[in-house]
Structure 1
């Protein structure tokens, strides 16, 4: 075979090899993208409350790569308006924060609104100071009430969850207020655990996850800045940039088989950066954890 022929054969062979390598690389990239897309990550819309109109907020969620949201009530729009925006930005509602008075007095209309936008989980997000029990018996009484509401919701195909802050970490008779409430409510009341508030309540979030793992519906993925810093952001940090020990915390959450990780920041200076960087951090950490 002459030199030109050999060169042509070599060129053809290397071209094919390069093409095969490129295809393998593309397939690996697609597989990695598919794997990360499967992680159940959502954004709590309270994080974006000051980020323009609702449509601007949802557009920011879409740009961040997140595909699900947790709403704050009805987001000040009709069910039809919200549903249209969800379809436009290809987002789903996985939970809605509903105040106690709506659960007590407007349950039917709350259920109807959420059913219209495809959501079937209602979460009690906060207790006003006057509504907070002050002893174990009070927390147990609240638990029984929420257990009854959870039973009503179950008949409608809905579930009820409770979101904590730091005050539920107060201990009465060797158990936290939150545990007294959950025990009294029974298994139908689920928990949306805010790990940053657990930390602020003086407890180890990873250890606490293990205590309540049989009730864990979702985790609010949130971080605390070092004490005395980020005062203009309420002392909170972008996910992964604070003091929580995620290398210990995430395996504990995964063992609990949590349904959703919900990114939240109470007072962000740059809400879009917070959800985008938080999503990247959480996605990469979970990908590494699942590869181990």
Structure 2
């Protein structure tokens, strides 16, 4: 069964504490939520209470790579442990690195360095009973030695490094999102359901851009994906956006 979640980044412009945002997500009809930076801003017991009263599961959490590794050497263990502890208390079992600068995908050596970093993190998280995944934008589809950088990255990482495909950004990068899911089905448990206007390179509401959502959902089902995660990078009306996104995903899953 494919569940439907929302990435809280879509609600970042709302000036409200995280539990209130989770109430909005619950009223919109979602099964779960993918946490972002606001997971640090509210007491854990209040967040857990909001998840419970809204019947929401913690689908995953976007965690900057710096929260797992780029701390002063003497603080590295505490930095990692703090992040792992917070995710564990929230019931998060999948941590997603959401962004690396495009310079990391401009050469074979740069991609290989990223692969080594992700392998190290995946091993450390696996020892804690957690999964690691990497979330793409369009920079990962730059050509490196004749192939998209994302293909080199996945080819040089351990299977413990999952792939959270953002289908909108994959499309903006020139890929066929459904084919990408088919090709890497064994690495994918979460798919970011985002639409783009390719000509403008802008995030838009599902159904207003160039994404073939039906083909993406079919491939996600075929891959045994656990979560479709709605995201809109810059909605004019965040609440209306997540409500519309939930309906679009439910319709595509029917």
TM-score, shorter chain, exceeding 0.5: yes
1:124 corresponds to: 97
* Deviation beyond 6 Å, 4+ runs, structure 1: none
2:149 corresponds to: 177
1:241 corresponds to: 208
Change in CA separation of 1:226 and 1:155 when aligned onto 2, cut-off 3 Å: closer
In terms of fraction of residues, the more helix-rich structure is: 1
Instruction: Answer 1 or 2: higher relative contact order, Cα 8 Å, separation at least 6.
Output: 2
Pairing 1:116-265 to 2, within 5 Å after superposition: 116-128=89-101, 132-225=104-197, 227-228=199-200, 235-265=202-232
Residue 92 (str. 1) matches residue 57 (str. 2) = yes
Length, aligned pairs only: 244
CA distance in 2, matches of 1:134, 1:241: 31
For the residue of structure 1 that corresponds to 2:184, the secondary structure is: helix
Change in CA separation of 1:120 and 1:249 when aligned onto 2, cut-off 3 Å: closer
**Per-residue displacement from partner, 1:153-211 (whole Å, max 9, x unpaired)?**
11111000000000001121232211222222210000100000011111221222222
Larger radius of gyration: 1
CA positional deviation for 1:226:
6.3
Correspondence for 1:65 among 24, 29, 43: 29
Change in CA separation of 1:180 and 1:242 when aligned onto 2, cut-off 3 Å: same
- Per the normalisation by structure 2, the TM-score is 0.89
Q: Greater shift after overlay, 238-247 or 161-170? A: 238-247
- Per the normalisation by structure 1, the TM-score is 0.78
Is the CA contact (8 Å cut-off) linking 1:165 and 1:197 kept in structure 2? yes
Pairing 1:72-91 to 2, within 5 Å after superposition: 72-73=36-37, 74-91=39-56
Change in CA separation of 1:78 and 1:55 when aligned onto 2, cut-off 3 Å: closer
Q: Which runs of 5+ in 2 are unaligned?
A: 70-75
CA positional deviation for 1:93:
1.1
RMSD, aligned α-carbons:
1.8
Q: Which runs of 5+ in 1 are unaligned?
A: 1-37, 229-233, 288-292
